[in-house]
Amino acid sequence: MGRYACLAIVLAGLGACMDQPPITVDHSALDLPRGAGTDLTVMQDGQLFPLDELVWLVDDESIVTVGRSSDGSHLRVSSVGEGATSVHLGSHGQVVDVFTHVSPPAFVQLWVEPSAITTSIGQVVAMHATAIDTTSTIRDVTDLTDWEVMDTGVATLDAHAVTGSHAGHTMLQVVLVGRTSDVPITVY
């Protein structure tokens, strides 16, 4: 195809853009943990843009995939691999790019066992922490968590084991990357 024919196609595409109000997306960039997803809202003139008139392309589908949300009104971006890529959304000669970064899986829930401790003075209770991440993987995170007894006069903590010190009540707080679990402790 000649240079002028290519220019004519580009100008025709620009003309199509000028006749249409701009399409917008509620996120210009996404940062997702692997295994997570989010919905994108595509708008034009303050209204949801009809997805039947929208095309999308992902530079690297080993990092993210795009499809319709469960209700069909939004685009669903799902992270499948770690890295960076761009999602390109287009309609009537307009293109909107959404840069997308996918990080390692994030923890979404934390469980501590036992979930409550009732013990006597001098008795040792071993503790265990389990978490589930955004890839639905259940992991032993006992050694990855931060453990703290709120009142060390009532109970002490040593190597993920609680020992009753004096009669009373306190709390064991377990933290894993922003997820917190509190375990009530009663020593009699």
Instruction: Give 53's DSSP letter.
Output: G
Where is pLDDT greater, at 126 or 18? Answer: 126
Q: How far apart are CA 39 and CA 28, in angstroms?
A: 13
Same-fold call for 3-103 versus 107-187: yes
Residues in the chain: 188
| 107-187, CATH topology level | Immunoglobulin-like (2.60.40)
The yes/no answer on whether domain 3-103 falls in CATH 2.60.40.1080 is yes
Instruction: State if pTM tops 0.85.
Output: no
Q: Give pLDDT tens digits for 84-134.
A: 999 999 998 999 999 999 999 999 999 999 999 999 999 999 999 999 999
Beta partners for residue 139, in sequence order: 131
pLDDT tier at 20, thresholds 50, 70, 90:
confident
The per-residue pLDDT for 11 is 41
**Of 180, 98, 94, 99, the residue nearest 145 (C-alpha):** 180
φ/ψ (deg, to 5) at 5: -65, -40
Q: Please state the domain extents for the chain.
A: 3-103, 107-187
| Confidence category of residue 18, pLDDT binned at 50, 70, 90 | low
Mean predicted confidence (pLDDT) in 61-68: 97
How confident is the model at residue 178, as a pLDDT? 84
